[in-house]
Structure 1
Amino acid sequence: MQARSPSSAGPGRDTPGPTMADTPTMNIPTVDLLDLASGEPARLERAAAALREAFGVFGLVFVKNHGVDAPALERFYDAFSAFVARPDAQKRPLGRADLWYQRGWTPPNTEVAVASNGQPDFKECYFAAPTPTDAQSAMEFPELYPENIWPDDAPPFFQEGLLTMGTALHEAGLKLLRGAALALNLPEDTFTAACEKAPHVTRALQYLPLGPTQVNTGILWGEEHTDFNLLTLLPGGRFLDPAGRPAPKPDDQSGLYLRTRATPDAPNGQMVRGTAPAGCIVAQVGQQLEILTGGTFLATPHVITAPGVPGWQRQSAAHFMHVHTSQVLFPLPGFRTPEAVANYAPPVLAGTYDIKTLVDIGLAPPAALDKLGYRHYDRLNRMRATS
């Protein structure tokens, strides 16, 4: 699940944009998960310091020794290509609007960023949960905790590849969340306990080719937004040339960009490329982690720009870790400064937050808001009518 909060224009827009910078010049920290697992004070502090700077300044961190198998990821992308290439008529039964597209196929032109100016994202997706569904939560929030659905004749390694990738990303995310708690001098399980049995979901994405009349017109593959979940993990993607073959990116303008925290010198932040160093993945802060930390960690605005040449596609994946739907989203006690309380009040149930955001981005229907609040006002009318 991906959330889209209002954000100023990214690359490719006619409106004034942020300061641009190359990733290497920004010194985005890298954290080694082996340091977090070492139990050695010096290595733990090194990792904690990296997370404090990465999540506090940039909203993202590069991660090494993450456990995601690169050949298996490429094999999954090949399987995903085979699925995407199928006619829409074959994929349509897997497009479950009744599940708010939280499982199965999301058709193109479905999801819209809050700040999109009406442009839907140029992508199609596939959702699956790599963690078991919590039965009680599924009764309370059925659209957020559905069982996985799969094509009857899925391409080889499609199901296995998506779940294997999602599981590896989830395990890496748990380690990062424990490290983030240590970085803030919180009990180690502060964030992992809050997300236990939550509606975590893994998403494969195919950004679609632009035609000759669409390139260089301000159309974006994905509008600038922030994710509404706790933590997002990105294993890296690949470009496909007009013949559908994996290839280096066609130009310098296409790909993932991320916006840093505002500073006096850069009040709009700086847009940096989201390309991780070789062998690393990216982890970025979501709105739920920002809320819990009272803005100490900031959700990462990011945008996916399209190339300036027609016919190219991009494949990527993301794992979205969530706060459990029964948890309250509000700054934790140590972060309840007057400014934080003013920024993030009133407290809200995470499940309510999820539903509202899914409506905002067009995955859930507006009628989903009717699930919130008391729904039995008509009972008195029925009783009065029979008296």
Structure 2
Amino acid sequence: MELPVIDLSPYLKVSAKISDDLLNREKEVDPQLKNLCSEVSRTLRETGALLVKDPRCSAEDSDRFLDMMENYFEKPHEFKRLQERPHLHYQVGVTPEGVEIPRSLVDEEMQQELRAMPKEFQPYTPTGPDPKWRYMWRVGPRPSNTCFQELNSEPVIPEGFPEWKETMDSWGYKMISAIEVVAEMAAIGFGLPNYAFTSLMKQARSGPHLLAPTGSDLQRYGQEGTVFAGYHYDLNFLTIHGRSRFPGLSIWLRNGQKVEVKVPVGCLLIQTGKQLEWLTGGECIAGMHEVVVSNRTVNAIEIARQHNRSLWRVSSTLFGHIASDAVLKPLGHFADSPLASNYPPIRAGEFVELELAAINLKGKKEKNE
């Protein structure tokens, strides 16, 4: 199955000219635009993933970012560990390989679901923590007053990268802009005001959006079947990825089918996170996914070797968040859905801290826990 590609240009042209209120008056909205918004919400509901084309995010922007991150991840371990901040839940700076635990290793309910899957759709079974590195870079203004300071901490800049801040901020802001447009379009498609989601993202100035590229060393871990990111969902609102230079990402559709994702050049992949599930009362389910060295990855490794290119697989992932102090609860008509009681009100920051603890990124667990 091929995921549909949604061109955001028609919505961008209209939204730049008219007010928020006008976008929500049924009689004023162009039928084609309304259909496009419905396509966005339907695809997020049914597949948990969406490919978009945003004219503001070019392939050149992506390449510039990937080049810098390959250069960083190729540095020695001792250098990279200087940017490690475990006391801040690894929410800024680098997370070394062997720290993040796949949700499927610690969630018994999820393990039962996996065993019940048809064999051909079952994920790979990780043997321990993920062997990937990750760098967390917060994008956007920090809130002026928050109860979740560690989720909104100052960024960490590695020495020897004078272009770091400008490159990270530039690519990060462009991907956040794409997320905001998709969030508005999805809200309209769901029959909510177009600002229903984005207003929560911007409460108290901004959610703790994280540009969080991963680095996987294919020189060391390039064997087919190696699990870089075990089967999991994302705890945030929407996740967006630029195109990686090496394949390996697989997602699960709402019907349980497993699909290896192919992101066309110049496109971005968006996935539903747990916060969107909360806000829609389970109408959208957080998209499950994994990153594993596949046969296509092995072929790409061989081609990269022949051309003397970097063998670090970098994903330009950005986690778009609801603001830490905003309350997660089913919005509008979703509050009346049969599943709404499964999503009681909780501040987004509290929710994030609970999720981080489960995957070993918030403090250290006791041995008997």
Specify the TM-score bucket, using the shorter chain as the normaliser.
Answer: 0.7 to 0.9
Any idea what the Cα deviations from partners look like across 1:180-227, whole Å, max 9, x if unmatched? 111111111100001111111101111122658x834x5311111111
2:346 paired residue among 331, 338, 348: 348
Q: 1:348 & 1:260 partners in 2: Cα distance?
A: 27
User: Which amino acid is 1:209 matched to?
Assistant: L
Q: 1:101 & 1:336 partners in 2: Cα distance?
A: 34
Q: 2:45 & 2:322 partners in 1: Cα distance?
A: 19
For the Cα contact (< 8 Å) 1:66–1:280, is it kept in 2? no
- Measured after TM superposition, the shift of residue 367 of structure 1 is 7.5
**Match in the other structure for 2:321:** 322
Q: 1:231 & 1:206 partners in 2: Cα distance?
A: 21
- Measured after TM superposition, the shift of residue 277 of structure 1 is 3.0
User: Which amino acid is 2:144 matched to?
Assistant: A
**Match in the other structure for 1:205:** 214
Report 1:156-167 matches (<5 A). Answer: 157-167=163-173
Any idea what the Cα deviations from partners look like across 1:35-79, whole Å, max 9, x if unmatched? 222436133113112112211101111111242121132122222
User: Which amino acid is 2:280 matched to?
Assistant: T
Aligned-residue sequence identity (percent) comes to 29
Question: SS of the counterpart of 2:159?
Answer: coil
Q: 1:296 to 1:354 in 2, by over 3 A?
A: same
User: Which amino acid is 2:262 matched to?
Assistant: T
5+ residue gaps in structure 1?
1-22, 240-253, 263-268, 369-387
User: Which amino acid is 2:167 matched to?
Assistant: G
TM-score, length-normalised on structure 1? 0.76
2:32 paired residue among 43, 47, 52: 43
For the Cα contact (< 8 Å) 1:111–1:120, is it kept in 2? yes
After TM superposition, which residue ranges in structure 1, 4 or more long, deviate above 6 angstroms? Answer: none
2:65 paired residue among 50, 63, 76: 76
Bigger proportion of residues as helix: 2
User: Which amino acid is 2:357 matched to?
Assistant: V
**Match in the other structure for 2:18:** none
**Match in the other structure for 1:276:** 263
Q: 2:332 & 2:39 partners in 1: Cα distance?
A: 24
For the Cα contact (< 8 Å) 1:29–1:53, is it kept in 2? no
Q: 1:231 & 1:307 partners in 2: Cα distance?
A: 25
User: Which amino acid is 1:70 matched to?
Assistant: A
Report 1:259-298 matches (<5 A). Answer: 259-262=252-255, 269-298=256-285
User: Which amino acid is 1:230 matched to?
Assistant: F
More moved, 181-190 vs 43-52? 43-52
Q: 1:338 & 1:164 partners in 2: Cα distance?
A: 39
For the Cα contact (< 8 Å) 2:58–2:266, is it kept in 1? no
**Match in the other structure for 2:240:** 233
Question: SS of the counterpart of 1:143?
Answer: helix
Q: 1:338 & 1:188 partners in 2: Cα distance?
A: 20
- Measured after TM superposition, the shift of residue 30 of structure 1 is 2.3
- Measured after TM superposition, the shift of residue 257 of structure 1 is 0.9
1:33 paired residue among 1, 4, 8: 8
Q: Which has the larger radius of gyration?
A: 1
CA RMSD of aligned residues (A): 2.2
Any idea what the Cα deviations from partners look like across 1:113-135, whole Å, max 9, x if unmatched? 11136521121111111201113
